[in-house]
Homo-oligomer: A and B are copies of this chain.
């Protein structure tokens, strides 16, 4: 099963990615979690003991040069757009609590454009993970679907757009929905996060007609406090753990119907 998680910055994509990864792992699935959002920290959220020691793939210059033929940041007239990546999940995963993690890292934009060796490697890796692996893959993305394209859209069982009670995150969801339609990705669902009241829940439902809601997660100060105390967010709120288990069940039952 392949799950991609997106939504406006700050809505809680990484927490959902963490808790869903754990729900799948607890149910006996082999899980690969992918941190594809340079502005997130999936390793820390999942409770990895030394998140700062996880080197993002985009910073592995020697690996990138070995596989693409070009060194990041250096002018290259040629590099392989389809580098070998099928051995990378085994070689460069970190594992903790039964969840394997890969961190994509940040592409330094600028001189080289989007067609740079780092991007070629990461794109090939994500395509490989989505198309050729049997594991459950949970992809924590930025506010968009930039890592997905027509070829990978069909492999995504569910694109989850996280929203919070607020117009901006709903606007972002509509924008992402449009981008997803453009590449033929139909399996979109919404999770409402940080809800403080029934009226906030109704705000989301009434402002997003036609969207499938997979579940709702309440605001819980315990999450904020755990973050400030540098404790793993996955363990912070029993209520939210339960809610995400229900979302996990909803994902499994959708799949059975399909």
A165: Cβ under 8 A from any B Cβ? yes
A95: Cβ under 8 A from any B Cβ? no
A10: Cβ under 8 A from any B Cβ? yes
**Contact residue range for chain A?**
20 to 34
- Report yes or no: A166 in contact with B39, Cβ–Cβ below 8 A: no
Complex Cα distance, B170 from A44, in Å, reads: 13
User: 18 A-B residue contacts at CB 8 Å?
Assistant: A8-B39, A9-B143, A10-B10, A14-B168, A39-B143, A39-B172, A40-B168, A41-B168, A109-B146, A113-B113, A113-B115, A165-B224, A165-B228, A166-B227, A166-B228, A167-B228, A167-B230, A199-B228
Closest B residue to A14 using CB positions: B168
Complex Cα distance, B228 from A230, in Å, reads: 32
Chain B hits for A10, CB < 8 A: 8-11
A171: Cβ under 8 A from any B Cβ? yes
A96: Cβ under 8 A from any B Cβ? no
Chain B hits for A166, CB < 8 A: 224, 227-228
A contacts with B: majority SS: loop
B-contacting residues, A86-132, CB 8 Å: 106, 109-110, 113-115
Identical copies in the complex: 2
A243: Cβ under 8 A from any B Cβ? no
0/1 interface trace, chain A 136-173, chain B, CB 8 Å (1 if under): 00000001001000000000000000000111100110
Whole-angstrom distance between the Cβ of A167 and the nearest chain B Cβ: 5
Chain B hits for A14, CB < 8 A: 168
Chain B hits for A39, CB < 8 A: 8-9, 143, 168, 172
- Report yes or no: A167 in contact with B8, Cβ–Cβ below 8 A: no
Chain B hits for A224, CB < 8 A: 165-166, 196
Complex Cα distance, B226 from A166, in Å, reads: 9
Name 4 extra pairs, CB < 8 A, besides A110-B114, A168-B227.
A10-B10, A113-B115, A165-B224, A165-B228
Whole-angstrom distance between the Cβ of A223 and the nearest chain B Cβ: 9
Closest B residue to A230 using CB positions: B167
Whole-angstrom distance between the Cβ of A77 and the nearest chain B Cβ: 14
Complex Cα distance, B8 from A8, in Å, reads: 11
B-contacting residues, A196-238, CB 8 Å: 196, 199-200, 203, 224, 227-228, 230
- Report yes or no: B228 in contact with A41, Cβ–Cβ below 8 A: no
0/1 interface trace, chain A 1-20, chain B, CB 8 Å (1 if under): 00000001111001000000
